[in-house]
Amino acid sequence: MTRTKLKEAALRLFGEKGYDGTALSEIAKEVGVKTPAIYAFFAGKEDLFMAVFEESMSSYNEFIQALTDSSEGMSTENKLHALLLRQYDFHQNKQELAVFTFRYLVFPPDFLLDRMQEAFERSDLLLGGIVRGIMLEGLERGELAEVQVETLVDAYLALMDGLGIQYYYYKSPELFERKQQHAFDMFWRAVKA
């Protein structure tokens, strides 16, 4: 219970104040424990941060995976569109996780860069596998243009990344949703059979 509360407090504080701006004492105070109690669960600040980072990446992938588990029978177009909508839903409904993850993927602490890159690559491999499966199925069904699957996957992941960043640019949900729809429509026109 305390371990979970420490991670929740760390997620919020690291997301708001950054790694350097967050002291272990602040995290402990928010949870209602003394700072040395953190060391019963984590080796230190770096260990706590990495636990939160890896969980945030896993949470995103689990959120995305839940859609693919329920999209049986959908067309490739609908699956890919639903995946973008699912990502948007993550940014809206899991805001602390999304902000934390976005912040540290773009601006990682230098001394944690290698560890974070490893965690990102594991996560990217899972997400890429989900998208690859959708693309392979679309190619088999004849719903996609005859293009190498890696080209389709890379282009789609770039679309997801771009929209993920744009989510933070536009405070108007209507404006972002319009841009998301137009971006997907153009992507689909380019890749459909």
CATH code, 31: 1.10.10.60
- Rounded to two decimals, what is the model's pTM? 0.84
Give yes or no for a contact between 122 and 116, defined as CB atoms under 8 angstroms apart.
Answer: no
CATH code, 72: 1.10.357.10
pLDDT one digit per residue (tens) for the chain, 193 residues: 789 999 999 999 999 899 999 999 999 999 999 999 999 999 999 999 999 998 988 888 888 888 777 778 899 999 999 999 998 998 888 888 888 888 888 888 888 888 888 888 888 898 999 999 999 999 999 999 999 999 999 999 999 999 988 988 888 999 999 999 999 999 999 999 9
**Long-range pairs for 33-40: beta carbons < 8 A, 24 or more residues apart:** 33/2, 33/6, 37/2, 38/6, 40/2
Task: Find the domain containing 58 and state its range.
Answer: 46-191
107 and 38 in a single domain? The answer is no
Name the residue type at position 129. Answer: G
> How far apart (Å, rounded) are the C-alpha atoms in residues 28 and 12?
13
